[in-house]
Structures are given as structure tokens and as C-alpha cells.
Amino acid sequence: MSALSLAGMTRMGDLQLDVDLVVEPGETVAVLGPNGAGKTSLLRLLAGLLSLDSGALAIGGATVDEPGTGAFLPPHLRRVGWVPQDRLLFPHLNVARNVGFGPGVDADRVAGLLDALDLTGLADRRPDECSGGQAQRVALARALATDPDVLLLDEPSAALDVESRHLINGVLASGNATATLLVTHDPVEAATLADRLVVLENGAVSQFGSPREVRSRPKTRYAASLAGLNLLEATASGTVAVTALGTRVVLAEPAEGPVHLVVPPTAVALHRSAPDGSPRNVWQATVADLQPAFERVRVVLDGPLPVVAEVTPAAVEGLGLKVGSKVWAAFKATEVACHAI
Amino acid sequence: MRRLLLAFAGLAVVLLALPIVGLLQRMPWSSLPELLGDDVTLDALRVSLVVSLVAAIVVLVLGTPLAWALGRTDLPGRRIVRALVVLPMVLPPVVGGTALLFALGRRGLVGQWLDRWFGLTLPFTLAGAIVAATFVALPFYVIAVEGALRTARRELDDLEGVASTLGAPPLTVLRRITLPRLLPAMGAGLALAWARALGEFGATITFAGNLPGRTQTLPLATFLALQSEPERALALSLVMLVVALAVLLPLRDRWLPGR
């Protein structure tokens, strides 16, 4: 039984949202897409604030919206927690009353969540006295307080400070095995928090797969540009980061502790022999796969740094690249973006 | 240029303040307790309070759903209804009273049936005075609440949506989200409507007459007293002035912003 299954269509204004999506229990799915693609509408549809024109939506195996049979479960009966992009805290209630708004949420639950999200000192504050990061944490606590089966997060770390991000990720990780949908613009967030990515463009799913799948075989230009970034987990110390495979990556600016390294595929250069000169990160790799992608070819590399390089077809020909070929790969330290985890 | 403008502005202030000064300057302060304590005054005060308070309740009960229908639905014909709502504000009250007479009078469009079927007569009764007061007061409330609803429509939609995802059924959402957000506008609109009902003259005298103890309200008693007993008229005016100020003061933040 899937946690959530949607196959349906709804029209709102100019946008037609036509989505096929199955989320398994315990899974976190990130929804990526350009502005106006229908990401927020998708969340509203799942919450029951919009309804389907055709098709069906089931949550936890129970049909909640099926225009064909007239079935429609209103939002307050769906057990779906929604953290909207604008937070939408109730302006006339203080933080504690916002978190405790849901019927049946008791004071202990509120106190526990305030504590977990470092909000205890703000319990009596009005929403307009909270910073963006605090408001975000309050909105999350309010949604979690009702113990939802499905959690919908709209841009959870937009405008968040690093500390709020840590707290939120921690609370999400320790939560019950609820299915989570996460709308985001941030490919790093998508790849680090999500088990699978949904790329939504113009109201339709253009790709649905694991971050690695989307990275190595993006089906659209948007997927390639946004979800197709190379992402490496590493531990930084000064200007050197060591990946899980023990490979050293040189950074342009010093960092400390666990980090995510993001390298655009276009920044990875391929050479027949070991290059000399400025690139600080050079290694020998094996070509695992070759994927044509929009006048370019994505070269999936195996080796000490499992990344994807994006090169022109002419370069592939010039280097004589085939699956299994040995090749030298390089990128500059300045091309690596380093995000603290 | 600036001086000329200031001169005209000053003239406007004088025009507004002078009548109040005139009223207070001639006020028979010494005989005030006696004038305010006699039966005529107390009857008029009682009728006025009953009429204006019942009218305020009717305004609240009928006006709130109307404001909702105008401000938060996309029903067809809203523009026409909105114009209809404003009409009593711009219509001379005497015309309103005349119209009520021909609609609800014993021979009126609806009134004849009320009379025949229910034995219900509105003209020249307390109930008629209440109908007249409601007629003129309703627009003030509806406009205030509808304006607030329209301005906050997106915000209310959003907040109500979140509240419902948190498990709150529609009535709880109404009670804990919608009404608290609308309360300031409802309070302001109701205070205005009540003040308007209290001051109503033209429609009341036309439709409900001027029967002491039954339909004679403070404004009617004041007008009557002016011809025979000007000191009583002054005393009654003072009562209404005090009431007007009492309504204005809580609203000052709304209408007198800044310093």
C-alpha cells in the first residue's frame, strides 16, 4: 500500500495540472520545477484545498478525491500536514497557540515540539515578532503537532539561516515514518533530503526518479540544469574536503566539518592524458555511461569521484570515449560550491 | 496660495465646531437634571435605546451574511446588490420612510398581506420604528464588513486553508480564524450603524410617526421640543452629543490615524 498515489488532472486558470505520482511509506519526495509549474498547486491538491477534475487521489490506500465517484474527503479529515511557503501563521494567536491549533493537540505535545525546534522562548510571541527562520519553524511545529500521515513542505528552507535548517532537518529525520513531499528550488536540498525527485514542468511530471538517476539521465533541459548537478558528501578541513570514498577535493575557500560539494557537470573537463596547469582536482576515471542530452553528452564517470561531466559530442569523438574508456577528469577549485550540512 | 487654502480649511473647521459651541453655550446646565429626568425625556431615551439596539442586532444578523455574499463569493448580480446596499445612505431619509410606507404600510405591497395573514401592522408602531432604523443603518455595517472581507480575501482563504489541514472543521475555522480576523471591522461597522439608527429622524417620522412612549425617539422629541420648550431640546441634544462622542472615541484609531 503506497502512502500516496495520485493519477489525475485539475485545471486552474491557465494551468492544467496533470500528475501521476506514487509515494511509498517513509519516502521523501522532492518536487522541483520552474516558477508557475504547479508545484504549490500540487501540494494544495494533496491537502484537499483544490480538487481533481478527473482521476483519483489516494492517501494511505484510502481514496480521498475521485470526481468519477463523487468521493471527496475535506482537508480537515485528511491528516495531511501543510507548511505553506508564506508560513501563514495565525496572526492573532501567539506561537504556542499556533502550534497547538489542531484539535486534540495537547500542551505536552506543544511543549515538546517547541523544545525540539528551539522555540520555547518564543511561546508567547506574536507571529509578527518572529524572524523568517523562527516563523518557518513555528509553521513546521504546527503541522507536525497534528501527527499527519503525509507532510507537505513548500520551500522549507527558503530564507532560512543555517541553524534553522539543521533543526528542521533533524526534526524531519526523527519524525514518524510519514511520507513527505518537499517543494524546492534548491537542488542541493532536493538531493540531500529526498529519496526521489519529481521534476514538474508546465503542470506535468517530466521526470520522476532517484537523485542519481535524474542527475545522470535528465530528461529535459530544466532537469539537466537544476537537478543534474554533481553532489558529493565530504568532510572539510581548511581548503581540503575528503569524500566518503576517501578522495581529496581542493576547495577555493576554507570550510570545516561535514559539507555537500556541488560541481556543475559543465565544469568537469575531460582529457586524454593528465592535464597540467591550474586545475587543482585531477583524477583518472572510467566512463560508465554516455547520455546524449540537448546538443551535449553527459559522461557518467566511475572512479574516486563518481560525477557526471557534460561535454560536446565533438569532444566525445575527439577523445574517442566509449563505455569502459579510461579518461582524465579535472575541475577547478573555484568551480566547487561548498554547503555546510 | 498656501494661505488661501489654510483660510478655507479654517473656515471648514469653524463650520464644524461652531454648532457644538452654540449648543454648549446655551445649555441650561442648572435645570439639566430636571429636564433629563422627566417622563418625556426618559420615554424618548427608552424608545431610542430599544429601537437602535434591536436595529443593531438585526443589522448584525442580516448584514453579516450579506457582507459575506458580496465580499467573498462570486455570485452574479453582486454589483447591483452593492448599489442597492448603498442606496439608503444617499437617499433622503424621508424618501426612505415614504418607500417603506408604500411597501410595508397597511395598504402596501407586502404590508397588506402582513396585515391580512398575520394581523401584523408596522406603520406607527415600535416595530415600524425599528424597521426604519434598520433600513438606514444597514449600509454602514455591510460596507465596513464587506470592505474588510474583500481586502483580506486572499489572506482569509489561506489562513482558513491551513486551519482546515490542521484538522479544524468548518465551524471551528469560522470561530477561531475568520471571526477573530473580522472582529475589528464588525465592531466598527456595528458602532456606526448603531449611531446612525440612534440618530434616525426622517424615515422614522414618516413611517412610524411620533407617538410619545411608542415611536417617539430622541431626535423626534428634540425636534418637537424645539418649538415649545427650547431648553429641553438643548438637553436632549446634549444626550445625543455625548452618545456620538462615546461611539467616536473607540473608533478614533480607525478614523483618526496618526497625530
On whether both A237 and A89 belong to a single domain, the answer is: no
pTM of the predicted structure, to 2 decimals: 0.75
Which whole number is the average pLDDT over A137-155? 90
CA distance A274 to chain B (A): 58
Cβ atoms of A114 and A142 closer than 8 Å: no
Checking if the pLDDT of B101 tops 80, the result is yes
Whether this model's ipTM surpasses 0.90 comes out as: no
- Cβ contacts (< 8 Å) between B167 and chain A: which residues? 76-77, 79, 102-104, 146
pLDDT of residue B220: 93
On whether both A218 and A98 belong to a single domain, the answer is: yes
Between A187 and B121, residue with greater pLDDT: B121
% of chain B residues with pLDDT over 70: 97
Checking if the pLDDT of B257 tops 80, the result is no
On whether both A222 and A328 belong to a single domain, the answer is: no
The continuous run of DSSP H or E covering B49 comes out as: helix B39-72
CATH number of the CATH domain containing A324: 2.40.50.100
On whether both A240 and A218 belong to a single domain, the answer is: no
What is the biggest distance separating any 2 CA atoms in chain A, rounded to whole angstroms? 68
User: Is there a contact between B165 and A80 if contact means CB atoms under 8 Å apart?
Assistant: yes
CA distance B184 to chain A (A): 12
User: Is there a contact between B166 and A102 if contact means CB atoms under 8 Å apart?
Assistant: yes
Counting DSSP H helices and E strands in chain B, the numbers are 14, 0
- Cβ contacts (< 8 Å) between B173 and chain A: which residues? 76
Average pLDDT, chain A: 85
End-to-end CA distance of chain B: give it in Å, rounded.
25
Percentage helix, strand, coil, to 5, in chain A? 25, 40, 35
% of chain A residues with pLDDT over 90: 34
pLDDT of residue A330: 84
> Cα(A43)–Cα(A49) distance, rounded to whole angstroms?
9
Mutate to test the interface with A, among B159, B165, B172, B179 (most CBs of A within 10 A): B165
Local structure of B238: helix, strand or coil: helix
Poorest-pLDDT segment among A11-20, A268-277, B77-86, B206-215: A268-277
Cβ atoms of A327 and A319 closer than 8 Å: yes
Cell of A223: 532537469
A308 Cβ contact partners less than 8 Å away, ≥ 6 residues apart:
A215, A216, A228, A230, A265, A268, A298, A299, A300, A301
User: Is there a contact between B167 and A79 if contact means CB atoms under 8 Å apart?
Assistant: yes
On whether both A111 and A62 belong to a single domain, the answer is: yes
On whether both A249 and A218 belong to a single domain, the answer is: no
pLDDT of residue A100: 95
Phi-psi region of A208 (alpha: psi -120 to 50; beta: other; left: phi over 0): beta
Q: How far are the Cα atoms of A79, B58, B95, B220 from residue B206, in angstroms, in the given order?
A: 59, 21, 9, 11
Local structure of A60: helix, strand or coil: coil
Mutate to test the interface with B, among A88, A97, A105, A181 (most CBs of B within 10 A): A88
> Cα(A252)–Cα(A57) distance, rounded to whole angstroms?
48
> Cα(B248)–Cα(B231) distance, rounded to whole angstroms?
26
Domain range for A271? 231-340
On whether both A135 and A273 belong to a single domain, the answer is: no
Domain total for chain A? 2
CATH number of the CATH domain containing A144: 3.40.50.300
CA nearest A89 in B: which residue?
Answer: B159
User: Is there a contact between A101 and B168 if contact means CB atoms under 8 Å apart?
Assistant: yes
- What DSSP designation does A254 have? E
Q: Does A97 touch chain B (CB under 8 A)?
A: no
On whether both A264 and A199 belong to a single domain, the answer is: no
- Cβ contacts (< 8 Å) between B162 and chain A: which residues? 82, 84, 88, 90, 142
On whether both A142 and A265 belong to a single domain, the answer is: no
User: Is there a contact between B165 and A48 if contact means CB atoms under 8 Å apart?
Assistant: yes
Q: Does A101 touch chain B (CB under 8 A)?
A: yes
User: Is there a contact between A76 and B166 if contact means CB atoms under 8 Å apart?
Assistant: yes
CATH number of B45-246: 1.10.3720.10
Cβ atoms of B123 and B209 closer than 8 Å: yes
- Cβ contacts (< 8 Å) between B172 and chain A: which residues? 103
- Cβ contacts (< 8 Å) between B164 and chain A: which residues? 48-49, 74-76
**All structural domains of chain B with their residue ranges:** 45-246
Mutate to test the interface with B, among A43, A82, A101 (most CBs of B within 10 A): A101
On whether both A258 and A174 belong to a single domain, the answer is: no
Percentage helix, strand, coil, to 5, in chain B? 80, 0, 20
Angle at CA of residue B84, ends B82 and B88, nearest 5° = 120
Mutate to test the interface with A, among B156, B166, B174, B179 (most CBs of A within 10 A): B166
User: Is there a contact between A49 and B164 if contact means CB atoms under 8 Å apart?
Assistant: yes
CA distance A162 to chain B (A): 26
pLDDT tens for residues B179-213?
999 998 999 999 999 999 999 999 999 999 898 88
> Cα(A249)–Cα(A280) distance, rounded to whole angstroms?
8
> Cα(A312)–Cα(A22) distance, rounded to whole angstroms?
35
Residue among B176, B152, B148 nearest B162 (CA): B176
Checking if the pLDDT of B168 tops 90, the result is yes
What is the biggest distance separating any 2 CA atoms in chain B, rounded to whole angstroms? 67
pLDDT tens for residues B105-161?
888 888 888 878 887 788 889 999 999 999 999 999 999 999 999 999 999 999 999
**Is the sign of the CA dihedral A212, A214, A217, A221 positive or negative?**
negative
Q: State the count of interchain CB pairs (< 8 A) between A and B.
A: 64
pLDDT of residue A247: 82
User: Is there a contact between A48 and B180 if contact means CB atoms under 8 Å apart?
Assistant: no
Mutate to test the interface with B, among A45, A46, A49, A93 (most CBs of B within 10 A): A49
User: Is there a contact between B165 and A76 if contact means CB atoms under 8 Å apart?
Assistant: yes
Q: Could you give phi then psi for residue B214, rounded to 5 degrees?
A: -120, -55
pLDDT of residue B70: 94
pLDDT of residue A324: 83
- Cβ contacts (< 8 Å) between A49 and chain B: which residues? 161, 164-165
User: Is there a contact between B159 and A102 if contact means CB atoms under 8 Å apart?
Assistant: no
Cell of B179: 471571526
- Cβ contacts (< 8 Å) between A90 and chain B: which residues? 159, 162-163, 177
Q: Which of B162, B167, B169 lies closest to A84 in CB terms?
A: B162
pLDDT tens for residues B117-126?
887 788 889 9
pLDDT tens for residues A62-110?
999 999 999 999 999 999 999 998 889 999 999 999 999 999 899 999 9
User: Is there a contact between B165 and A47 if contact means CB atoms under 8 Å apart?
Assistant: yes
B58 Cβ contact partners less than 8 Å away, ≥ 6 residues apart:
B130, B134
Checking if the pLDDT of B256 tops 60, the result is no
On whether both A136 and A27 belong to a single domain, the answer is: yes
pLDDT of residue A234: 83
CA nearest B164 in A: which residue?
Answer: A76
On whether both A221 and A240 belong to a single domain, the answer is: no
